[in-house]
Structure 1
Amino acid sequence: MNRTVLVVDDEPTISDALAARLRGEGFGVVTAHDGPSAVEVCAREKPDVVVLDVMLPGFDGLEVCRRIQADRAIPVLMLTAKSDETDMLVGLGVGADDYLSKPFSMREVVARVHALLRRAERTTAASTATAAMTLGPLRIDHDARRVSGPDGEIHLTRTEFDILAFLSARPGAAVARDTLLAELWGWEDSASSRTVDSHVKALRRKLGGTLIRTVHGVGYALETPR
């Protein structure tokens, strides 16, 4: 089945190069060059994955991501010229699954797109026999993919929920970053462990800083409140 990638970048040189490389890999490719047209093309073409630059005319890639994720869940790889971690966290917080900083290699973009598609096709590795579970003040409903706390539902992105669900299936156990990358992203190396770290930071901001413990030199563990 031919998968379609939407490439959104206002620099024609980058957009054309990405489109050519992805077509060479067997993907169907559609393009957009500003925020409003990206949202329009995404709604019309229903791509399987979006490669999205942050800096766009009209409105930026963060707003594009927010709008397309509100319509339907879709894997998004964000491209950014910014190295500031706050910008990365904002991108992940509005629903991006991964990011690459410019300059990047075309090979890396293709590898990330393949990984995001594999992940989208897999059922979550965190599925358990228990559809819902309680962790202290939190209730995690795996079937509905919802998390609620004392003040109501807590909005998590797809990736944030997947990480929480994976850790909650192994309460107290240290889970390596490499394991999370392999199971949730389908990557076989740790070159992008910062992606995991950034998603965990976003989770801590939403759920509190004590629920997910850093296991130094390894990865993360979910604390089990007593």
Structure 2
Amino acid sequence: MTEKLFHSGCVVALGLGLVSFASLRPAHAQWAVYDGANHVQSILIAARELQQIDNQITSLANQAQMLVNQGRNLATLPLSTLSTLQSTISQTTALLAQAQNIAYSVQSVEQQYQQAYTSISSGMSDSTLFSQAQTRWQNSVGGFEDALKLQARVVGNIPTDSSAMTQLVSASQNSTGALQAAQAGNQLLALQSRQLSDIQAELAANGRAAELERARQAANEAGAEAQYQHFAQYDAYVPEAVSVPGSGD
């Protein structure tokens, strides 16, 4: 009986050992095998993808900065002196249009110059010669007055021009883009052009006054000659003998 039990126990133990051995074999088959080359390749792929993303971010940042720079270059200058320049030019033009007696007009110069400066002859009466001489004197005086007014206007523009120039230079130096710098430069050129126009107008006024005075002097000489010729047309004085009462002659 004892031997049978021992035999049975051995059979059970052997069976359990076989079961345990069979259950361990599948667990041994599931062990993972490390592939180093595949792991390195995966890391390289991930690194390249990150580099591409970084490049895209850098490109987008550059494009954004380019748009910002374009916006600055297209920004307009907040300062404009055009209205002031136009007003000053209008005032100078108005002074030129107010020229006394002989205006800045070719037709007016031809007509009035012919009447007062060249139409002088010995056949004119003294009153006519005197009237022409007075007209010429008034023209000269008016020409000098016009020149003085224009000079005063040009000198009066100096403080305004100085202020405008300071503002434009400051705006050019502090400009945020190419357009603002160009606009400031253009306004400076416009200011210089207006100043040159003032100088041109002043030279014209001074020249007009000087020419009127020279023409007056020349015409006065011609008028004096005409008066002399007019006086010379009369018969010369012939002395006659005068008898004095009581002289015995």
Q: Same fold (TM over 0.5)?
A: no
TM bracket, shorter-chain basis:
under 0.3
Larger proportion of helix: 2
Q: Which has the larger radius of gyration?
A: 2
Larger proportion of strand: 1
Tell me the TM-score normalised to structure 1 length: 0.21
